[in-house]
């Protein structure tokens, strides 16, 4: 399979267009040019493919594929759906964009400071152009990588993105393909890498015509979203090619720097070489051809190092993974709920284990899973992405409350500190840096009334145990969507202004203190004092030493600094009145001395 160009779907060349579609069930296939209703017969090729070369199509034209003279369908590899998921596809020339990022080099994963955002709710405009207008703000905050939630075309104009049904088409209401290219180019000009969230574990429900073309799905396995995508059953070769080409397109044609692959544990594949390993191999080949480095990030709730181990060690080669266990342990330690999967976490001791071992569960029995779970890992810190909030952990709560609605101002600062002093890659969820008070709720805009009602009922059933606390927001309501938008005016109001300044300070320390930016996990030691609810994290690197003291209790605690041959110099005190805290701690502290820590506070001292 080629990596230098896209070969499936309709692609412009210097003589017109090449068209290639996989439809093994069809006896006859043609391409319908919508204007004039001209049908161009396609040639049968090996393994169920149909091809066409023609000069009768140009950029901007609308077209459909016609199967057996009776099924007029959008292109499954469409690059544009300007009138929605049920209507005709549009010819787009991805090579026409004038890139100016030839001197851009992807930031090393170990240096990423990631900012997750949703295009529709990040700005009032809800577009890629809106994101572009906030790049200076993100740069000043200290962000060097944005992670954009999925942009594949979905039904309507409101969706988290995980119901996309055209993986190659960029959502038209966000601005489409050309606007995304423009955004990525602008990000690179500002020194910001772009991570794109993609979904290879399922296809959304509305506008899903894949089954009409071929065996894109298999009933061998099931996922929470229905039959699994066919990666290892009969006719799977073309399906694998489809998704590999999709990954390559984002890197090659959109200059995306990293892909975040959603819920890879739901990719069912028992082939001799897993789909993820295939994607990694082709990505490496493209990297050699282009001279650009690309990253693959897996969301995976299996503590299984096969996903992040290199190909030559029998792994799937993912460069990093989201690690929810750090989040769970942190939130329980902070006083959050202990229901559901949180019940597996005992708080501060497990949080210390997360710092030391990456996986909290690395072989012991999990009560929630009712089995021994996880393996030990010596993988480097840059392979683990940690956070105190993300779209799932906020939006999958019934009311969609952010930490600002669940924890005190002091605890929010403490939780942020816990993320940034870790030996892992930190990630923020949009708005957390100013303690955004609007929720982030689940929203969709299906146009099929039956499907819309099914989603409403499903959402209510999911939270049936919580109805005493109120009704789940209607995911179809436009109000649910607009209520989830960020309130940018808050950054100039208190206490949000102070929280934003605190995050800027944290990010600055993370970037410019070598002992904090170094991610060697063998140079970290975390210990928990359960009695007083204080966590001590020590880190060292090339003669520099750091200690982070975190008091998760509601009382003032006396805490000893580690013994050294030099004095400790304070770098940050979350309880300082500069951050709306109650009291200052000493600027200089002696070795092995005791400091008085305010409730729900963090202290960072360094020597060297």
| Cβ-based neighbours of 543, under 8 Å, separated by 6 or more | 608
**Token pair for 111:** 């240096």
**Token pair for 528:** 């928990």
CA dihedral of residues 390, 79, 28, 234 (deg, nearest 10) = -30
C-beta separation of 116 from 391 below 8 A: yes
Determine whether the annotation assigns residue 260 to a binding site: yes
Determine whether the annotation assigns residue 394 to a binding site: yes
Among 80, 50, 53, CA closest to 65 = 50
CA distance 590 to 356: 26
**Token pair for 575:** 């309880």
CA distance 302 to 323: 9
C-beta separation of 268 from 219 below 8 A: no
Q: Of 18, 147, 163, 299, which residue is the catalytic one?
A: 299
Determine whether the annotation assigns residue 393 to a binding site: yes
C-beta separation of 186 from 251 below 8 A: no
Determine whether the annotation assigns residue 325 to a binding site: yes
Determine whether the annotation assigns residue 379 to a binding site: no
Determine whether the annotation assigns residue 219 to a binding site: no
∠ CA 406-411-414, rounded to 5°? 135
CA distance 517 to 509: 9
C-beta separation of 307 from 293 below 8 A: no
Determine whether the annotation assigns residue 75 to a binding site: no
C-beta separation of 54 from 27 below 8 A: no
CA dihedral of residues 170, 172, 173, 176 (deg, nearest 10) = 60
C-beta separation of 563 from 573 below 8 A: no
Q: Which DSSP category does 561 fall into?
A: P
Determine whether the annotation assigns residue 289 to a binding site: no
> Which helix or strand (DSSP H or E) is residue 607 part of?
strand 601-607
Determine whether the annotation assigns residue 248 to a binding site: no
Max distance between CA atoms of the chain, in angstroms, equals: 84
- The yes-or-no answer on residue 565 being catalytic is no
Contacts 24+ apart (CB under 8 A), 456-460: none
CA distance 182 to 202: 28
Determine whether the annotation assigns residue 392 to a binding site: yes
Q: Of 132, 245, 257, 262, which residue is the catalytic one?
A: 262
Determine whether the annotation assigns residue 328 to a binding site: yes
Which CA distances in Å does 275 have to 222, 236, 237, 247?
17, 11, 10, 11
CA distance 455 to 172: 23
- The yes-or-no answer on residue 349 being catalytic is no
**Token pair for 196:** 């794109």
Among 100, 257, 286, 122, CA closest to 192 = 257
Task: State the burial class of residue 593 (Cβ atoms within 10 Å of its Cβ: 0-12, 13-18, 19+).
Answer: middle
Question: How far apart are the two ends of the chain, measured CA to CA in Å?
Answer: 53
Query: Mapping DSSP to helix (H, G, I), strand (E, B) and coil, where does residue 146 land?
Result: strand
Determine whether the annotation assigns residue 327 to a binding site: yes
Determine whether the annotation assigns residue 262 to a binding site: yes
Among 222, 230, 228, 319, CA closest to 279 = 319
Helix and strand element counts for the chain (H, E): 16, 31
CA distance 222 to 307: 21
Active-site residues, by number, are 262, 299
Annotated binding site for substrate: 260-265, 324-328, 391-396
Question: Residues marked as binding?
Answer: 260-265, 324-328, 391-396
């Amino acid at each position: 399979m080629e990596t230098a160009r896209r070969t499936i779907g309709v692609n412009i060349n210097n003589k017109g267009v090449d068209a290639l579609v996989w439809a093994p069930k069809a006896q006859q296939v043609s391409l319908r040019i919508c204007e004039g209703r001209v049908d161009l017969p396609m040639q049968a090729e090996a393994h169920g493919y149909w091809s066409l070369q023609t000069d009768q199509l140009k950029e901007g034209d609308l077209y459909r594929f016609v199967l057996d003279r009776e099924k007029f369908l959008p292109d499954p590899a469409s690059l544009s759906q300007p009138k929605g998921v049920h209507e005709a596809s549009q010819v787009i020339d991805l090579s026409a964009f004038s890139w100016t990022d030839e001197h851009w080099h992807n930031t090393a994963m170990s240096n990423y400071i990631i900012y997750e955002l949703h295009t529709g709710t990040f700005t009032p405009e809800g577009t890629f152009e809106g994101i572009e207008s906030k790049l200076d703000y993100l740069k000043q905050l200290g962000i060097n990588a944005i992670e954009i939630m999925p942009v594949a075309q979905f039904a309507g104009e409101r969706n988290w993105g995980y119901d996309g049904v055209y993986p190659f088409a960029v959502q038209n209401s966000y601005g489409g393909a050309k606007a995304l290219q423009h955004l990525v180019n602008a990000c690179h000009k500002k020194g910001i890498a772009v991570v794109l969230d993609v979904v290879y574990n399922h296809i959304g429900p509305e506008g899903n015509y894949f089954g009409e073309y071929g065996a894109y799905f298999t009933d061998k396995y099931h996922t929470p979203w229905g039959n699994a995508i066919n990666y290892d059953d009969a006719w799977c070769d073309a399906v694998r090619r489809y998704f590999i080409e999709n990954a390559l397109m984002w890197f090659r044609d959109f200059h995306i720097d990293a892909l975040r692959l959603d819920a890879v544990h739901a990719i069912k594949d028992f082939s001799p070489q897993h789909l993820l390993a295939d994607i990694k191999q082709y990505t490496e080949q493209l990297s050699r051809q282009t001279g650009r480095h690309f990253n693959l990030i897996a969301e995976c709730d299996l503590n299984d190092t096969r996903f992040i181990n290199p190909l030559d060690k029998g792994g799937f080669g993912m460069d990093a993974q989201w690690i929810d266990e750090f989040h769970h342990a942190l939130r329980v330690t902070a006083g959050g709920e202990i229901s559901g999967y949180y019940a597996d976490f005992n708080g501060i001791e497990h949080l210390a284990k997360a710092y030391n071992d990456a996986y909290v569960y690395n072989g012991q029995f999990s009560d929630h899973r009712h089995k021994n779970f996880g393996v030990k890992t010596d993988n480097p810190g840059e392979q683990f992405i940690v956070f105190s909030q993300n779209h799932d952990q906020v939006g999958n709560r019934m009311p969609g409350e952010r930490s600002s609605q669940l924890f005190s101002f002091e605890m929010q600062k403490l939780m942020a500190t816990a993320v940034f002093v870790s030996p892992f890659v930190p990630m923020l969820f949009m708005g957390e840096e100013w303690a955004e008070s609007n929720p982030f709720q689940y929203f969709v805009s299906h146009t099929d009334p039956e499907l819309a009602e099914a989603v409403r009922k499903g959402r209510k059933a999911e939270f049936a145990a919580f109805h005493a606390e109120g009704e789940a927001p209607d995911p179809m309501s436009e109000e649910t969507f607009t209520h989830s938008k960020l309130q940018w005016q808050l950054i100039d109001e208190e206490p949000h202004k102070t929280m934003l300044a605190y995050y800027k300070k944290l990010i600055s320390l993370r970037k410019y203190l070598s002992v904090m930016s170094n991610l060697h996990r063998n140079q970290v030691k975390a210990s928990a004092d359960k009695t007083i609810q204080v966590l001590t994290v020590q880190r060292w690197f090339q003669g520099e030493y750091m200690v982070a003291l975190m008091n998760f209790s509601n009382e003032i605690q006396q805490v000893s600094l580690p013994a050294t041959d030099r004095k400790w110099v304070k770098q940050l005190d979350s309880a300082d009145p500069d951050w709306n805290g109650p009291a200052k701690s000493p600027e200089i502290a002696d070795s092995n001395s005791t400091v008085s820590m305010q409730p729900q506070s963090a202290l960072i001292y360094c020597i060297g």
